[in-house]
Amino acid sequence: MAKKTVRFAAVGDLHCTKDSAGSLKGLFAQAAEAADALLLCGDLTDYGLPEEAHVLASELANAKVPVVAVLGNHDFESGKPEEVCRILTEAGVRILDGEACEIHGVGIAGAKGFAGGYGRGALGPWGEGAIKQFVNEALQEALKLEHALAKLRTPRRIALLHYSPIIATVQGEPVEIYPFLGTSRLEEPLIRYPVDAVFHGHAHRGAPEGKTVNGVPVYNVAKPLLQRTYTDRPAFRVFEVPAETARE
């Protein structure tokens, strides 16, 4: 019997530490109950330590659904993002870094993203080499997202990021740090390759919902934000995609 919808549970910023053992498995079990797949929007670990990744991997053993993730800035802190990736990949997590995958006929494109600011306030590649390098990092991440989106042939698509592609979902954070929470350079690929929804994290004190300029819903699913905003529900957001149209 074909499913009528594909349900995705999304959460970011788990910030798993060595002491997190036992504290996330309940959440993952609930997510697996509520959805057909789990999407993790970066900052999977707190300091990017292999030990933290091992704790997360064992907590995820309770999520009996496919798990797709992107890394966040915290996963880079110890200079071992490849090891974090390897540990989670071996535990069955599909980590997207400019790649795409398909879950029950729905396409998922993922990249970490980067900072740089929004609209006319976005930092430009001008002046010192360090500034150009910083802006180039954001451009490379936007390109990764674009390549991932371009690969997808599914009629239904979801984009997964850590940094925010729009300013609306960082609102609530101190305005001085907006440029470090994401960049509208990440919105450009989403205009060229529209998706059904975008999920991101990173802005723990941001806003839960916004839209791209072309009307695509953007959800900030940073766990601390979800916990504070929706006190009556588990800390993940469920998004349903009609499955009939997910088939070609």
Give the interface with Fe ion as residue ranges (CB under 5 A): 13, 43, 72-73, 202
Residue closer to Fe ion, measured from CB, 72 or 234: 72
**Shortest CB 140 distance to Fe ion, Å:** 18
CA neighbor of 57 nearest in space, from 45, 72, 41: 45
| Residue 9 β-bridge partners | 38, 238
Residue closer to Fe ion, measured from CB, 73 or 169: 73
**Shortest CB 98 distance to Fe ion, Å:** 18
Residue closer to Fe ion, measured from CB, 35 or 181: 181
Residue closer to Fe ion, measured from CB, 212 or 220: 220
From residue 103, how far is each of 65, 68, 117, 154, 242 by CA, in Å?
10, 9, 32, 10, 13
Residue type at 229? Answer: T
Angle between helices 25-34 and 50-60 (to 10 degrees): 50
CA atoms within 13 A on the CB side of 26: 7
Helix, strand, coil abundance in the chain, percent, nearest 5: 35, 25, 40
**Shortest CB 27 distance to Fe ion, Å:** 16
Residue closer to Fe ion, measured from CB, 170 or 190: 170
**Shortest CB 74 distance to Fe ion, Å:** 6
Angle between helices 50-60 and 81-90 (to 10 degrees): 20
**Shortest CB 6 distance to Fe ion, Å:** 27
- In angstroms, rounded to a whole number, what is the distance separating the alpha carbons of residues 19 and 55? 8
Residue closer to Fe ion, measured from CB, 35 or 203: 203
CB within 8 Å of 133: residues ≥ 6 apart: none
**Shortest CB 242 distance to Fe ion, Å:** 31
